[in-house]
A and B are shown apart, each in its own frame.
Chain A
């Protein structure tokens, strides 16, 4: 056996180096199948992404790939090119469900979930319907209707307001985690460490929210992300679109022009100013932040999987 392992597995086949949650090993005692890699939609890009689904735990894990240039593995008595490292971590399935709810919302009506979660490209999306406590999850992002007298079926409709509120909470809990971990949230923090020390705390707070928002934005479509930026009163990301500085301060739902041209949009401008005055000191400070600290998960990982 040892011999076989040392030299045997030595075909030219590809070996995958994975980090999995430890508890998957324990649940494997109960089942010999029911753990599978499936391709499902990436809720941010709409393209395909790899996930791990546990039938036994009824849990979904996303697969992230760490990939850095010029690396390779020695695995026992073999060499494996690329030096790739795969991570399987639990994902909140609501992000994926949201993708379908937003798509179905174009029809503008209440629908049962099995009519919402349909996908010709990724037929495995039916696995999402097997997840436990779906009704409870959906409360965060939908309005629901049901008539218990007729059937037990519930009908759902995407709610933008509820979703933003839910995402706001997500950003907050991610910020909390960033603060307790030792993650550097931005180049700013590092450079500040060399200069004035009293600035660190205030800058950090801004960097944390931008960083947390950046992490969440990898799980939601672009349009919703723009709404979330407004909801969190974040400045426009400077990295993605180089815009004139004036446009960076996009704080309200008012058109940009209102801010730029005082003569033409007098009334609107007043409204904008009023909203600005309502902001807390922290929010005002936020508006000035450039988003160099906003890092997406891709800064850790490559994108190509399998």
Chain B
């Protein structure tokens, strides 16, 4: 029963590989004003990217015959953008046996871990890793640029506000 509980806890953790935060290669991101209801490879570099033009009012492109206007949006200071993907279970198993693609500091990592956590992490359930990184992305609007009132811009102000909400209050 005891071990069963522990396993239960484990199953509720998704481990993020910290080393992938450094090894992630720069990614190009566009936020489109329409939903393409699939997740799959797409020849963005053949159709979309070459059609982007610098117009008088910002970037211009078209997608499915509709005209889009875009602008570059910076990731707020102090933050870093990442694209993450879940690893398949088989992949996790292979990696666990000796961390084949790990670099030279595997031993160091083992030492730094507290023993109980190391035990817990040996059998974790899912693993997620950063596959790409970005410091800006392009936001597209239909016909007109998204502008300063775009909801995504409001969301980007959240981290600075969150910092204030969650800062420790001075004691008495």
What residues make up the interface of A, taking CB atoms closer than 8 Å to B? Answer: 1-2, 5-7, 9-10, 12-22, 24-25, 27-39, 52, 55-56, 62, 64, 66, 68-83, 85, 87, 89-92, 122-124, 126, 136-137, 139-140, 166, 169-170, 173-174, 176-178, 181-183, 215-216, 219, 297, 299-301
Contacts and interface: CB of A to CB of B under 8 A. Distances in A.
Given A37-B16, A124-B12, A79 B163 contact: no
A62 to B, nearest CB: 8
B30 A30 contact: no
A37 B128 contact: yes
Interface of B: 5, 8-9, 12-19, 21-22, 25, 27-45, 48, 75-76, 78-86, 99, 102, 105-106, 109, 112-114, 117, 121, 124, 128, 130-132, 151-152, 154-155, 157-171
Contacts, number: 261
A87 B27 contact: no
Contact of B80 (A25, A136, A137, A169): A25
Which has the most chain B C-beta neighbours within 10 Å: A2, A89, A215? A89
A215 B165 CA distance: 8
Chain B interface main SS type: mixed
Contact of B161 (A18, A122, A215): A215
A262 to B, nearest CB: 41
B159 to A, nearest CB: 5
B113 A31 contact: yes
B169 A81 contact: no
B35 A178 contact: no
A76 B30 CA distance: 9
Contacts of A90: 162-163, 166
B160 A181 contact: yes
23 contacts: A1-B25, A9-B132, A13-B39, A14-B85, A20-B21, A22-B79, A24-B21, A28-B21, A29-B22, A33-B18, A55-B114, A70-B33, A75-B132, A79-B39, A85-B152, A87-B155, A87-B158, A123-B5, A170-B169, A176-B164, A181-B160, A219-B165, A300-B155
